[in-house]
Amino acid sequence: MVRWLNATTLVFVAIVALVVVWIGSGFLSGDETAQDETVPPTAGLPSVAASWSDAEETVREITLYGEVRPAQISTLRARVQGIVEEIAPAGTEVEAGQIVGRLSADDREAQLARAEAQLAAAQSDYNAARQLADRDITPEAEAQTRFAQLQAARAELRAVELEITYTQLAAPGDGIVNELYADVGALVTAGGEVAEIVDNDPLVAVVQVQQGSIGDVRAGMPARVRFIGGGTAEGAISFVAPVASAETRTFRVEVEINNPEGALPSGLSAEVVIPYDTVAAHRLSPALGLLDSEGRLGVHLVDDEDRIVFAPIVVVEAEAGGIWATGLPKRARIVTISQGALAQGQQVEVRETPPEYLTGTATASETGAAAAEAAAPAGNDTAGE
């Protein structure tokens, strides 16, 4: 026994013991490491960029398209037959009752002289019959017959005088001679068209309003008119049709536009804008709009607890570079940049939207970088931020 436990054996036993201890300690360390790796790391919150938006007073408007017509179009017609001897040229400004042309008198002067002579004779015959009847020399019926003849002579004279007067062509209204239908030397019959006179003061813009909007339109409301050929004017609604068109189911609306100098021509196409209401609305980028599972248009907001809220909106006006929408709180924090889908009530890490993103001065690479930065986990923040 003493021989077996010699120095060599003791050394060997000691080395084996050390190896066992070292291996055991290694396994223990490995087990602890493996145990640590099975614990899932804490997931970081999704990060979004958001900006505060305050509602502003916004005017709701109806935009329509139509045409501009003159206030009145009058047709000058001949009241008697005759040859046109004089007529004002197109472009002449006239007033109602002003003589703008003349027809030939023909034999009307002779008819006038004959009617005057017949009237004088009828008057003499009646006077004589009246005196005889008053003295009971002739019956009263004879005096009444002579009186009837006198009245007929007077009517005949009046008719001839009117015919002569009607050879003078008077303008039926104020305006400008727009078109001639009969030139000098042309024969026109009674009732024939001679000229067209257009009154461009005021002008009338005529538009058609849909059934859904007619309740917002009333006579007297102001309107802005933009002429397709250039220029704008202010006007007011002068007429709203009480009955819809049977063909289009729209209502005719007329906007009166003052045009005292006649600078604006009629016949132009025009855009008519009718303001009808004032509401508090937010100005948003169209890119922020999204649809929920019910198909409603809205935007994502961040509440006081940094949770996502879907807010439906109603677009009240669209303009270049943005829309005006209602449905949001008076002051709202709107998500502007996110990466991936967001869910109702989801907790997020909120950052301020980069100024260049809001002003639209960011380049494509800068916008992409801003989106990536907004979506980066909070643990990736740098000290400079």
Residues in the chain: 385
Query: Considering the domain boundaries, does residue 78 fall inside one?
Result: no
- In angstroms, the CA 181 to CA 197 distance is 11
DSSP letter string, 279-296: EEEEEE-GGG-EE-TT--
Closest CA to 191 of 75, 74, 73: 75
pLDDT at residue number 385: 32
Look up residue 214 and give its two tokens. 């007619």
For the residues 8-31, what does the mean pLDDT come to? Answer: 46
Same domain, 283 and 337: yes
Q: Which residues of 30-60 are buried (b: 16+ CB within 10 A; e: fewer)?
A: eeeeeeeeeeeeeeeebbbbbbebebeebeb
pLDDT > 80? residue 4? no
| Most confident listed range (142-146, 220-224, 229-233, 259-263) | 220-224
Decide which of 173 and 356 is more confident.
Answer: 173
pLDDT > 80? residue 135? yes
For the residues 111-129, what does the mean pLDDT come to? Answer: 92
Query: Considering the domain boundaries, does residue 368 fall inside one?
Result: yes
> Element (H or E) spanning 29, and its range?
helix 7-37
Instruction: Report the percentage of the chain scoring pLDDT > 90.
Output: 63
Decide which of 239 and 260 is more confident.
Answer: 239
Query: Considering the domain boundaries, does residue 173 fall inside one?
Result: no
Decide which of 262 and 163 is more confident.
Answer: 163
pLDDT > 60? residue 25? no
Same domain, 130 and 206: no
Same domain, 284 and 251: no
pLDDT > 80? residue 108? yes
Confidence of residue 28 (pLDDT cuts 50, 70, 90): very low
pLDDT > 70? residue 191? yes
What pTM value is reported for the model? 0.61
pLDDT at residue number 359: 53
Beta strands 193-209 and 222-227, pairing class: unpaired
Confidence of residue 373 (pLDDT cuts 50, 70, 90): low
pLDDT > 80? residue 89? yes
For the residues 138-159, what does the mean pLDDT come to? Answer: 92
For the residues 239-244, what does the mean pLDDT come to? Answer: 95
Confidence of residue 137 (pLDDT cuts 50, 70, 90): confident
Angle at 288 between CA 284 and CA 293, to 5 degrees: 125
pLDDT > 60? residue 355? yes
Q: What are the Cα distances from residue 381, in Å, to 51, 356, 385?
A: 19, 20, 7
In the listed set 276, 310, 329, which residue is the last one of a domain according to the structure? 276
Quick check: 349 and 43 in contact, CB under 8 A? Answer: no
Query: Considering the domain boundaries, does residue 204 fall inside one?
Result: yes
Query: Considering the domain boundaries, does residue 24 fall inside one?
Result: no
Quick check: 225 and 259 in contact, CB under 8 A? Answer: no
Query: Considering the domain boundaries, does residue 179 fall inside one?
Result: no
Same domain, 366 and 283: yes
Look up residue 19 and give its two tokens. 């190896």
Same domain, 231 and 285: no
DSSP letter string, 108-174: HHHHHHHHHHHHHHHHHHHHHHHHHHHTTSS-HHHHHHHHHHHHHHHHHHHHHHHHHHHTEEE-SSS
CATH number at 205 reads 2.40.30.170
Confidence of residue 138 (pLDDT cuts 50, 70, 90): confident
Q: What are the Cα distances from residue 134, in Å, to 81, 144, 148, 195, 330?
A: 46, 12, 17, 56, 100
pLDDT at residue number 380: 40
C-alpha count within 13 angstroms, C-beta hemisphere, residue 2: 0
Same domain, 253 and 295: no
pLDDT at residue number 363: 41
What domain count does the chain have?
A: 3
pLDDT > 70? residue 358? no
Decide which of 124 and 7 is more confident.
Answer: 124
Query: Considering the domain boundaries, does residue 155 fall inside one?
Result: yes
Same domain, 290 and 367: yes
pLDDT at residue number 14: 52
Look up residue 244 and give its two tokens. 């819809």
Decide which of 323 and 3 is more confident.
Answer: 323
pLDDT at residue number 26: 45
For the residues 228-254, what does the mean pLDDT come to? Answer: 93
Name 256's Cβ contacts closer than 8 Å, sequence gap at least 6.
Answer: 71, 202, 203, 204, 235, 236, 237, 238
pLDDT at residue number 15: 52
- In angstroms, the CA 136 to CA 130 distance is 10
Quick check: 254 and 238 in contact, CB under 8 A? Answer: yes
The pLDDT mean for the chain works out to 83
CATH number at 352 reads 2.40.420.20
Same domain, 269 and 296: no
CATH number at 132 reads 1.10.287
Quick check: 170 and 100 in contact, CB under 8 A? Answer: yes
Domain that holds residue 147: 105-166
Same domain, 297 and 355: yes
- In angstroms, the CA 30 to CA 91 distance is 106
pLDDT at residue number 71: 87
In the listed set 220, 243, 276, which residue is the last one of a domain according to the structure? 276
Same domain, 290 and 374: yes
| Most confident listed range (13-17, 40-44, 172-176) | 172-176
For the residues 157-167, what does the mean pLDDT come to? Answer: 92
For the residues 34-61, what does the mean pLDDT come to? Answer: 72
Same domain, 283 and 270: no
pLDDT at residue number 340: 79
Confidence of residue 318 (pLDDT cuts 50, 70, 90): confident
Same domain, 266 and 220: yes
Query: Considering the domain boundaries, does residue 73 fall inside one?
Result: no
Output DSSP code: residue 230.
S
